[in-house]
Amino acid sequence: MTPTPLALSLQAPLFLLLLLAVPVLLVLYVRHERKATRGRAAFAAPALMGAVAPVRPRWRRHVPIVFYVLALVALVVALTRPQVTVAVPIDQARVLLVFDQSGSMAAQDVAPSRLSAARSAAGVFLDEVPKRVQVGAIVYNQGARVVQTPTTDRQAVRDALAQVNPAGTTATGDALSLALSVAQRTSRRGDKPPPAAIVLLSDGKSVRGRDPLGVARQAKRAKVPIYTVSLGTPEGTIPNSRGAGTVPVPPDPETLAQIAELSGGQTFDVHNASRLDQVYENLGSQIATKDEPRQITAGVAGGALALVLVGGLASLFWFGRIP
């Protein structure tokens, strides 16, 4: 993944005050040129000027000065120690996909069903996440279980999710707690946990187990953001298991938005499968990167030197000297 520039900042912006000297120098240069012109006019009569004092090139004599001024500006900018913030891939990052497999995921308001659409979109996510990022999968209803430990084997994750079927109720807090534990798990005691993020897809309100908001606060302290996706429409229903008719199963975007906000992640409210694909595609390129400042002082200073050289070479070529 190629680093993407995000922002430019200056570590010592007060040095920009030195740029106030630029217009002063330009005024002094203009005065010097006018004085030189008046001196040439006083040196000989206008009719003899061409013979005793060759006409100086009008615009070319200013070109080297322009390059020198630009070089001065670049040097001042270099003194401010500029840096750009870029998004760079995170090595050894870990992403946990947390899938709600409660009975409400059988609703067909998102064709062919909420769970099928989520499973299909997960493939888009796996295609977008950089290959070296480990991806694990957790599914939950009234209980949570790891169906695939974090791995770079994308097909293993797809195969694990293919075995998931909707059934039971919803314990979102328990699933997030398990995901956070897996995200922070290290191979050796004392090792620092790898950078991690959690992607939670759910369509219903948590009705049992731990408070998901409390787990979200815990994730914030651990610097593991939770990205939530609320899937479904308020009109979603599933067959009534106790008899005829249907049972409404509206999503709970409000709680999922709170989980994302408290953990430092983002939330998405999705009503159709195509939109879900787009969410996963965007997340795949976002959560496996971090913002990193990079100094560009040397590059700016090098540009200033190049401008000085160009100005000097132009003066040598046209006038045989360096002013």
Kindly state whether residues 279 and 303 are assigned to the same domain.
no
Same domain membership, residue 140 and residue 281? yes
Greatest CA span in the chain, whole angstroms? 115
Domain count across the chain: 2
**What's residue 232's pLDDT?**
84
pLDDT value of position 1: 45
Regarding whether 128 and 258 lie in a shared domain, the answer is yes
- Is 143 found in the same domain as 62? no
Per-residue pLDDT band for 206 (boundaries 50, 70, 90) equals confident
Q: Which of 3-12, 81-90, 118-127, 283-292 has the lowest mean pLDDT?
A: 283-292
Task: Mark whether 63 and 45 lie in a shared domain.
Answer: yes
Q: Are residues 97 and 218 in the same domain?
A: yes
Does 239 share its domain with 185? yes
What is the pTM (predicted TM-score) of this model? Answer: 0.62
- 303 and 261 in a single domain? The answer is no
Checking if the pLDDT of 201 tops 60, the result is yes
Strand partners, 135: 95, 151
213 with 273, same domain? yes
CA atoms within 13 A on the CB side of 158: 11
pLDDT of residue 177: 96
pLDDT digits (tens, 9 = 90+) for 264-285: 988 887 765 566 566 566 666 5
> Which range scores top for mean pLDDT: 3-17, 87-101, 126-140, 285-299?
126-140
In a shared domain, residues 51 and 73: yes
Give the residue numbers spanning the domain of 162: 91-287
Q: CATH number of the domain that 119 lies in? A: 3.40.50.410
Residues 266 and 138 in one domain: yes
Better pLDDT: 71 or 175: 175
pLDDT digits (tens, 9 = 90+) for 90-130: 656 788 999 999 988 999 888 888 888 888 888 888 887 77
pLDDT tens per residue, range 131-157: 878 899 999 999 999 999 999 999 999
The pLDDT assigned to 97 comes to: 93
- My answer on whether 77 and 173 are in the same domain is no
Contacts of 95 (CB under 8 A, 6+ apart): 129, 133, 134, 135, 136, 150, 196, 197, 198, 199, 287, 288
